[in-house]
Structure 1
Amino acid sequence: MPTTECTALAHSQGPSLTRWQLLGAVTLATLSICTLAASAPKMSRMLHTPAASKHIPVKSTQSRPISLAPSGTQRRSSLEHIVTSIPLVRHAHAEQQTSWETQQRRATSEIQASLTWALFMGAGSLALALTGMRTLWAGSPSPMHQMAMAATVSTRDVKVAPPKEYIPGTVHISDSFDAGNIICEETSVDAVRLRIKPDPYTAGTDNCHHMQWFYFRASNVKGRKVKYDIVNAGDASYKSAWPGYNTCASYDRRAWFRVRDTEFSEETGSLSWSLDAEHETVWFAYFAPYSYEQHQELIARVAASPLARLVVLGDTLDGRPLEMLTMGTGPRKVWIVARQHPGESMAEWLAQGVLDKLFDDSAESQVLMSAATFYIIPNINPDGSVRGHLRTNASGANLNREWASTGDYMAPTLERSPEVYHTLRALDALGCDCYVDVHGDEEIAANFFADNAGIPGYSTRQDKLHKDFLAAMMAASDEFQTELGYGSDEPNMANMAICQNQIAARFDCLAVTLEMPFKDNLNKPDLIHGWSPERSMRLGHSLLSAIGTMLPALRG
């Protein structure tokens, strides 16, 4: 219930509550009087019964006060004075004296309890009566009523801090949605000053704050040319990737296009672009996002098929399920894992393309699923994706540096990288013959494989598998190439905490990293869309065709 409604309700019910307050006051007062009346006979007997009535010969008397007030209290009520001045007698026989004193103490304790309860109810009735009179006099709800009504207000209606003042007519900026990332420092009718939020610090491996992903909405922009300026772009993880990059934009978050006049200033470190919007609202992003809601729709659609099985490998740090889809019945075990780096959303678009191809009921897909079993994790880092991170999970871990311990840094662990921990455990249990780790590259405008020639024990068999896979991808897609890429590590110098290196060495299998561009494919440029979700999904189709070519050569 909104706060305003609760306040109105409190005022409207104020007089009604006051009547109940007065009734409660009368009730408590009556109970107080009854308690005092019930205590009176006992007090009378205590005050007037002679010692002889107890058949105790009186040898001597003395006053022994029994304090009902806390220690140090100087003032006593008249009733307390009566109780504390009751004389206690001693008998010559110790047993009789003890029995008499015990009875007196019990009676005194009962009187004390009765008086305390009577005083408590009297005070309560007085408080209720005064509060009710105040409410009737002021015509406002009582404090007790206000507290009760405030308790019904949901915490979602309580803002921790007031929002920044918005000036009507200026451009409104928001990132308050799945994967959103931006800080609006200043806005006017035709210019916006922005800043990218960094990922949590990546301790133990990268030792830095990663930053490059942005995603936000601009409103009140129709019919005006607005300049957007990200002032800390020069501090991004891949500053050299900005030249040649064009911002992604959309009016409906379905169809994305590129803003061609995007520019990066080496002098100021700012990434800027201008757009004369056709609609009141426009979304901007580093790449077309793949939201967590889209992810859930994908999972639900595939899991509903009798050809697939959904397996939850474990939970992430934010409590999200780590989901794997299993398809096929063949002996060869093929793994396709996407989005270790959450900002590389093209990876999940490719995973969707793979799944769409497997379920298209074509002859090719039927052959694939009869020859192999596919284990597909469309998003291995859902926490980082929802949080709007570039490269890390909720704890700041770069998952592609968590596949083995590095020096004193222990990995993977449930405390820091449960996503890798759960996936590696499943790999060990199920086995692997082919592994494709799907990524996006900020700098290189091409699609390519990264190899693992630097792992210990890299064999001629693995080298041949890698070269044959390159040839199969080249044959399957004109979007793939082999000229641009990362190059190979020196023998025995590979970082074993990187996924593809760990998997290739651990299972003596074919393992690659597939990289796609954030910019465009230089071999086939698309000036309107650049590299896009649609092209990523088509490359997923091609990847399956290449894997089909490789299946007979896999160990199985």
Structure 2
Amino acid sequence: ARPELFINRVVFDSFDSNVEGGSEPATSGAGTGAGYASGDTTLTFESRFESGNLRRAVQVGEWEYDLYLNPDWLTKTHTQWYHYRLSNTRRGPKYKFNIVNMVKPSSVYSEGQRPLCYSVKAAAECGLGWHRCGIDIAYYPNSLGNKVRRDSSPAAQPPNNSNSSSSNKQIAFYTLTFAAQFEYDNDTVSFAHCYPYTLTDLQRYMSALEADPFRSQWLRRRRLCETLAGNACDLITITSFSSNHEEMRRRKGVVITARVHPGESNASWMMHGVLDFLTGETPEAH
């Protein structure tokens, strides 16, 4: 291989579809990366799907990539979770992924957590779903040393942007690095911090609860408000609605919330379980 052909080569940018190999066909499941010649082993990255947050991928070695994340919505530097997919894999080589703009000084990855991954071919052939993966995992401070404008999101600037204005502040960044070896050639593989749970998943689940003859008798659903992104924020009331209005008004309420931050999809799964239990048929629920 000729290192000069791929070192520091931008291969994906979610803000720029003109980047070579920066996107994949909408129906892509496997195959060579979009924009690459036959036989090219460059990975094809994608994150322009619901709950994806990869901003940019830079190839720094034949099998190594530096990854930059988009910050959480309406924040400047909240980057501590990830969800992206890639294709055009090769069986055998050890790929290395460095997520270089994490912001928390400490991480559960230093205490044994591993990334989650999902292989399209493993799911089709073996029925294997999301599972823990990754080797050579480490989390440490890096020398990226970005200076981010106080009034501008880093997602709107190149990841290595710097500005000498006095209104800038120094941001400390950390790297999450891990390696992976793929089981299949030309596979499509997704990586995530936690098991994904999207807004679409939530809306489908709520519709299923409302359509269930037993569960629906215990709940009422209405729109509390809209989020800053314009999505519906539902208010679910669970109680016995057979009582009269005055008795219901005297009842004490318990408020349960979840998914305060975008990356906390594990909290969505916990709330899913809470709603299953509270609307279920067990004596404890009633």
TM above 0.5: yes
- Report the secondary structure of 1:336's partner residue: coil
CA distance, structure 1, for counterparts of residue 105 and residue 265 of structure 2:
17
- Report the secondary structure of 1:275's partner residue: strand
Match status 1:287 vs 2:194: yes
Residues 147-296 of structure 1: pairs in structure 2 closer than 5 A: 162-165=18-21, 166-168=35-37, 169=40, 170-182=42-54, 183-186=56-59, 190-199=63-72, 202=75, 209-233=77-101, 235-244=102-111, 245-251=113-119, 255-264=129-138, 266=140, 268=142, 269-279=174-184, 280-296=187-203
- Report the secondary structure of 1:301's partner residue: helix
Give 1:344 deviation, angstroms: 0.9
Aligned to 2:145: none
Larger Rg: 1
CA distance, structure 1, for counterparts of residue 178 and residue 133 of structure 2:
7
Across the aligned residues of Structure 1 and Structure 2, the Cα RMSD in angstroms comes to: 2.8
| Contact 1:259/1:273 (<8 A) preserved | no
Match status 1:355 vs 2:285: no
| Contact 2:238/2:279 (<8 A) preserved | no
| Contact 2:137/2:179 (<8 A) preserved | no
| Contact 2:66/2:100 (<8 A) preserved | no
> Relative to structure 1, is the Cα distance of residues 259 and 327 closer, same or farther in structure 2, using a 3 angstrom cutoff?
same
In the alignment, structure 2 segments of 5+ residues that lack a partner are 1-14, 22-34, 143-173, 241-247
Aligned to 2:220: 309
Q: Deviations over 1:504-553 (max 9, x none)?
A: xxxxxxxxxxxxxxxxxxxxxxxxxxxxxxxxxxxxxxxxxxxxxxxxxx
Q: Report the TM-score when normalising by structure 2.
A: 0.62
CA distance, structure 1, for counterparts of residue 208 and residue 276 of structure 2:
10
Q: Deviations over 1:469-489 (max 9, x none)?
A: xxxxxxxxxxxxxxxxxxxxx
- Report the secondary structure of 1:289's partner residue: coil
User: Which amino acid in structure 1 is aligned with residue 259 of structure 2?
Assistant: R
Q: Deviations over 1:194-241 (max 9, x none)?
A: 122223565xxxxx62111111001111523342322424x4234444
User: Which amino acid in structure 1 is aligned with residue 182 of structure 2?
Assistant: A
CA distance, structure 2, for counterparts of residue 230 and residue 201 of structure 1:
24
> Relative to structure 1, is the Cα distance of residues 222 and 298 closer, same or farther in structure 2, using a 3 angstrom cutoff?
farther
CA distance, structure 2, for counterparts of residue 231 and residue 286 of structure 1:
12
- Report the secondary structure of 1:355's partner residue: helix
**Runs of 4+, deviation exceeding 6 Å:** none
> Relative to structure 1, is the Cα distance of residues 302 and 200 closer, same or farther in structure 2, using a 3 angstrom cutoff?
closer
Give 1:171 deviation, angstroms: 1.1
CA distance, structure 1, for counterparts of residue 235 and residue 69 of structure 2:
32
Aligned to 2:147: none
Q: Deviations over 1:441-462 (max 9, x none)?
A: xxxxxxxxxxxxxxxxxxxxxx
Which of 254, 262, 266 pairs up with 1:346? 266
Aligned to 1:327: 238
CA distance, structure 2, for counterparts of residue 184 and residue 221 of structure 1:
15
Give 1:312 deviation, angstroms: 0.6
How many aligned positions are there? Answer: 202
| Contact 1:194/1:228 (<8 A) preserved | no
CA distance, structure 2, for counterparts of residue 223 and residue 229 of structure 1:
16
User: Which amino acid in structure 2 is aligned with residue 237 of structure 1?
Assistant: K
CA distance, structure 2, for counterparts of residue 277 and residue 209 of structure 1:
31
> Relative to structure 1, is the Cα distance of residues 251 and 197 closer, same or farther in structure 2, using a 3 angstrom cutoff?
same
Residues 391-540 of structure 1: pairs in structure 2 closer than 5 A: none
> Relative to structure 1, is the Cα distance of residues 241 and 201 closer, same or farther in structure 2, using a 3 angstrom cutoff?
farther
| Contact 2:116/2:130 (<8 A) preserved | yes
Give 1:188 deviation, angstroms: 6.6
- Report the secondary structure of 1:192's partner residue: strand
User: Which amino acid in structure 1 is aligned with residue 180 of structure 2?
Assistant: L
Q: Quick one: percent identity of the two aligned structures? A: 25
User: Which amino acid in structure 2 is aligned with residue 236 of structure 1?
Assistant: V
CA distance, structure 2, for counterparts of residue 307 and residue 249 of structure 1:
37
Q: Report the TM-score when normalising by structure 1.
A: 0.33
| Contact 2:219/2:279 (<8 A) preserved | no
